[in-house]
Amino acid sequence: MLLLAPERFPDYELIDCGNFEKLERFGSVITIRPEPQAVWDPRLTQRDWEKKAHLRFVPKSSSSGSWKKMKDAPDRWQIRYQLPESGGKKPAPLTFRLALTAFKHVGVFPEQAVNWDYIYRSVKALHIEQPRVLNLFAYTGGASLAARAAGADVTHLDSVRQVVSWARENMELSQQQDIRWLVEDAMTFVRREVKRGKKYHGIILDPPAYGHGTDRQKWKLEDMINEMVQHVRALLEEKHFLVLNTYSLGFSSIILENLLADCPGLETGELYLQATSGVKLPLGVFGRVVRS
């Protein structure tokens, strides 16, 4: 199991969770958002939650909703994350612009910070000048920024143009440059890259349970993850690392272990966050591979 180390992420805190919601702090802004895995009772009272929160997401359907302001709060703000030291040097912090979306997200998945650290260290450990790293289903770019901070030549791919623009803004806020941006369907892209004989030293794969490509291609995790993993493995150089992360109810780390069974250096497990209230919140499973 992997736990977010909070000492380098003071801008984030999981305060409590339960009753299918989570109470979180992003910088100075505290939100209440739906969380389908929080099936237990919260540790704090409902009064405590409402006293603390600035914003609450109110679902209107299974896929969208709106934000209710309980106190004065910005519609957009920024937070930072500090990557680990390398060679006695501390890299510039990653900076993320957050915003209130109609899909309950604010622009960052904080539990992924443990993977950002892994990506940063893995790029450094390759000892290759500008290793090529591909980030698929890349969202607002936390993993891309971590790889670029370590010196990688990064290709960032997502099927939603607005999300790619958001990631570009995070790159600029983090004082980085020269990430390659692609708005494309992930499966279409990797199939083409395999045919071209392209190779990468690192690949990051964080697919949703459901989604659509740029031409409305359907993505369903359990139907397509096996083919995706096979293509991704064909794209890896001899020296490489691979990060596979999934967040889907009922998806076990054993599934990832089976998908990556013959990969050297395989590590699988569960991501979780420790709430200040004491409860642990599971937030997906991971498989990580390194061959150096």
- Euclidean distance between CA atoms 107 and 142, whole angstroms: 10
**Domain check: are 278 and 211 in the same one?**
yes
Q: What is the pLDDT of residue 6?
A: 63
On whether the CB atoms of residues 188 and 158 are closer than 8 A, the answer is no
Which residues of the chain, if any, have pLDDT below 70?
4-6
CATH classification at residue 22: 2.60.40.1180
Q: How many CB atoms lie within 10 A of CB 271?
A: 24
Q: What is the pLDDT of residue 91?
A: 92
- Name the residue range of residue 33's domain: 2-77
pLDDT of residue 5: 64
Q: Which residue has the tokens 């305060």?
A: 15
Give me the number of domains the chain comprises: 2
128 and 267 part of one domain: yes
Is residue 86 included in any domain, yes or no?
Answer: no
Does a structural domain hold residue 207? Answer: yes
Task: Quote the Cα angle for 21-22-25, to 5°.
Answer: 150
DSSP string, 173-210: HTT----EEEES-HHHHHHHHHHHT--EEEEEE---SE
pLDDT of residue 31: 98
Domain boundary among 77, 98, 120: 77
How is residue 209 written in tokens? 């349970």
Which pLDDT score is estimated for 63? 79
| pLDDT for res 114 | 93
pLDDT at 219: 82
Environment class of residue 216 by beta-carbon count within 10 Å: exposed (0-12), middle (13-18) or buried (19+)? exposed
On whether residue 82 sits in a domain, the answer given is no
DSSP state letters, 196-255: HT--EEEEEE---SEEE-TT--EEEHHHHHHHHHHHHHHTEEEEEEEEEEE--TT--HHH
Interatomic CA distance for residues 169 and 146, integer angstroms: 15
CA 119-209-32 angle, 5° bins:
80
Same domain, 52 and 162: no
199 lies in the same domain as 126: yes
